[in-house]
Amino acid sequence: MSATARKTALLPDDIRARKGGTPIVSLTAYTTPMAELMDAHCDFVLVGDSVGMVLHGLPSTIGVTMEMMILHGQAVKRGLRQAMMVIDMPFGSYEENPQQAFRNASRLMAETGAGAVKLEGGQSMAETIAFLVARGIPVMAHIGLTPQSINTLGGYKVQGRGGAGARLLADAQAVADAGAFAVVLEKVPQTLADQITAAVQIPTIGIGASAGCDGQVLVVDDMLGLFTKFKPKFVKRYANLGEQADAAVAAYAAEVRARTFPAAEHVFADSVAGETS
């Protein structure tokens, strides 16, 4: 079904039901205008903790706080009518124990209106996922390259190569068995992503994985060419808005310095007679 035909917001069960069907479309968003723009095109919008790097200039997602996620979650929610909103649990807000995870996940859902939370981890998070789901919190899992663990993974490397494939498959199975309604596969080899997609009963959402996944997600600023500090291989640039913005700002600066902006049509007369707006 095309996203534009929907009248009401999708629910986690709708996403789960898309297993093996029309690919699920998702992008990240952090602001109301961007959420408005993608609402008709995406099945779910992810308020990713990538917001820390993309909008706040942090070196990784480690420094992202609950307060940042809540503020951006509220902004995104105001821009959505049809797409479901999934919000990331930030580093340190869920790993301690299931109770800590419930406290923070319920706060994220209550204060932002998100339809689900996403958290990073496979077998090690299965107990927490089951705890949250049993208490009314839909969970999307995230395995493979999990950026919050960058300090133990030793960099933004492809995960699951060689002997590590079996562990990733077990991670995917563990989060599915624990009740996650979908699982993000980040930066895993294509063949392994296809194996996992075939093996688990829940949709796989790929980012740097495979076109055979049940859906795809990208960071919106990456695919629009707005965030250009680095470009992972898995990012396709659908636009170069950063370059356009740079040219526009340069043109504005030149016109201000030349006193050609503002022009007659941008300034106000002494009387309103004859003024159009």
Rounded to the nearest whole angstrom, what is the least distance from the CB of residue 179 to ligand KIV in the complex?
Answer: 20
Q: Residues 72 to 101: which contact ligand KIV by CB under 6 A?
A: 88
The stretch among 11-19, 42-50, 159-167, 263-271 that binds ligand KIV (CB under 6 A) is: 42-50
Q: Where are the alpha helices (DSSP H) in 55-202?
A: 66-78, 98-112, 126-134, 150-153, 165-178, 190-199
HSE value, Cβ hemisphere, 13 Å, CA-based, for 61:
23
Q: Are 81 and 93 in contact (CB under 8 A)?
A: no
Rounded to the nearest whole angstrom, what is the least distance from the CB of residue 47 to ligand KIV in the complex?
Answer: 8
The stretch among 46-54, 162-170, 195-203, 261-269 that binds ligand KIV (CB under 6 A) is: 46-54
In DSSP terms, 117 is beta-bridged to: 87, 139
Torsions phi, psi of 131, nearest 5? -65, -45
How many residues are listed for the chain in this entry? 277
Q: Are 3 and 82 in contact (CB under 8 A)?
A: yes
For the chain, report the end-to-end CA distance as a whole number of angstroms.
Answer: 42
From 12, 34, 38, 50, residue interacting with ligand KIV (rule: CB under 6 A):
50
From 14, 43, 49, 171, residue interacting with ligand KIV (rule: CB under 6 A):
49
Cβ burial 239-273 (10 Å sphere, 16+ → b, else e) = eebeeeeeeeeeeeeeeeeeeeeeeeeeeeeeeee
Answer yes or no whether residue 48 interacts with ligand KIV by CB under 6 A. Answer: yes
Applying CB under 6 A, the site for ligand KIV has a residue count of 12
Is 186 considered catalytic here? yes
From 219, 221, 226, 227, residue interacting with ligand KIV (rule: CB under 6 A):
219
The contact mask relative to ligand KIV for 140-179 (x = CB under 6 A, - = no) is --x-------------------------------------
Catalytic residues, which ones? 186
Binding site for ligand KIV (CB under 6 A): 28, 46, 48-50, 88, 142, 184, 186, 207, 217, 219
